[in-house]
Amino acid sequence: MNKNTTRLRRGLFSALAIVIALIWVFPVYWMLNSSFLPNRTLQSFTPTWLPFGGSLRNYARVIDDGSFLQALSMSATITIIVVFVCLLFAFLAAVAISRYRFKGRRGFVLAVLLIQMLPAEGLFIAQYKMMSSLGMINRIPGVALIYTAAVVPFTIWMLRGFVAGIPADLEEAGMVDGLSRTQAFFRITFPLLAPGLVASGVYAFLQAWNEFTVALVILQSESSQTLPLWLRGFIQASATRETDWGQVMAASTLVAVPVIIFFILVQGRMTSGLVSGAVKG
C-alpha cells in the first residue's frame, strides 16, 4: 500500500512537473516556430505547429535593419563591462567579508542587504541628473556604471555564501605543504569558487542584457540603443503598418539567442555541488 501510494505520488509530481515545463517552454517554441513563417501563415485561423515551408527571410530582413548590429554591439559591450567589473568587486568584497574580521563588517553586510530593498524606479531621477552632470547621457560608461551599482550588492551577497562554504582548513593545509597564503588561495580556494563565479556572472549577464527602463532613461538617442530598446522601436515601427509578426518573432529570437547560448556554455558549472564534493575529498 505504501509502495503504491509512493508511486502514485511520484507519478503525480512527475506529471505536474511536465505540465509546468511545457507551460514555460511553449512560448519559446512558438516564438522560434513563428520566426520562420510568413505573416500570412501566422494570421490564418489554423495554427501552424511546425515550420514546414518556412525560411530565413524574416531573419534576413531583421538583420538588414542597420540599427540591429549597432544595438547588438552596444548591448554586448555594456554586458561584458558589467559582468567583469561586478565579478571583480564582488569577489574581493566577498573574500574580505567571509575571511576577515574588521570594524564595520556587520554594517557593510547590512548596507548590502538594505540597498536591495530600494525600488529602482525611485532612483531614476537622481541617476539621470548624476549622469547628465557627468556628461554620460547616451554613452556606454553611464549605463554600465548604473548597471554595475545595481548588480554588485546582490553578487557580493551571493559570492559571500560560496566563499563561506569553503573551509579555511584547505588553505592552511596548502600552507603546511609550503604554499604562501596567496598561492594557497588562488591554487586551492579560487578553483572551488568557479560555480559561485559562474552563478554570479549569469545573474549579472541577465540583468545587463535584459534591462530596459534604465536604458530608456539614459539612452535617448536612436544611435545609442541596447537590444531591448531596439526591439521596442522595431515593434513600434512595425505597428505603424500591418504588423509582420514573423519579423517580430525573428527579432525577439535574435535578442534571446545570446542568453540561450550563454546558458548552454555555463550550465555545467552552475552548481555548488563541486564545492562540497571537493571538501569531502
Residue 81 lies in a domain: yes
DSSP class of 116: T
Residue 40 lies in a domain: no
Per-residue confidence at 279, pLDDT binned at 50, 70, 90? Answer: very low
Residue 99 lies in a domain: yes
- Count Cβ atoms below 10 Å from residue 162 Cβ, excluding itself: 21
Query: How confident is the model at residue 276, as a pLDDT?
Result: 40
C-alpha cell at 129: 541628473
Residue 119 and residue 194 in contact, taking contact as beta carbons nearer than 8 Å: no
pLDDT of 281 above 50: no
Give the predicted TM-score (pTM) of the model.
0.81
Residue 27 lies in a domain: no
Q: Which sign, positive or negative, has the C-alpha torsion 26, 207, 260, 94?
A: negative
DSSP, residue by residue, 34-46: HHTS-HHHHTSSS
> CA neighbours within 13 Å on the CB side: how many for 251?
26
Q: Which sign, positive or negative, has the C-alpha torsion 68, 73, 74, 80?
A: positive
Domain count, the chain: 1
Question: 82-99, pLDDT tens digit by residue?
Answer: 999 999 999 888 888 887
pLDDT averaged over every residue in the chain: 82
pLDDT of 43 above 60: yes
Answer with the residue of higher pLDDT: 175 or 216. 216
Q: What is the mean pLDDT of residues 263-281?
A: 54
Residue 4 lies in a domain: no
Residue 58 lies in a domain: no
Give the domain extent around 82.
65-280
Query: Alpha helices, DSSP H only, in 57-168?
Result: 57-64, 66-99, 105-115, 124-133, 140-164
Residue 254 and residue 59 in contact, taking contact as beta carbons nearer than 8 Å: yes
Q: Which sign, positive or negative, has the C-alpha torsion 244, 246, 249, 255?
A: negative
Question: 204-239, pLDDT tens digit by residue?
Answer: 999 999 999 899 989 888 788 899 998 888 888 776
- Which CATH number do you get for residue 77? 1.10.3720.10
Give the 3-state secondary structure of residue 87: helix
Residue 180 lies in a domain: yes
| Contacts of residue 257, Cβ cutoff 8 Å, sequence gap at least 6 | none
Query: How confident is the model at residue 23, as a pLDDT?
Result: 93
Residue 246 lies in a domain: yes
Q: At how many degrees (to 10) do helices 66-99 and 245-266 cross?
A: 30
| Contacts of residue 103, Cβ cutoff 8 Å, sequence gap at least 6 | none
Per-residue confidence at 192, pLDDT binned at 50, 70, 90? Answer: confident
Exposed e or buried b per residue across 242-269, where buried means at least 16 C-beta atoms within 10 angstroms of its C-beta:
eebbbbbbbbbbbbbebeeebeeebeee
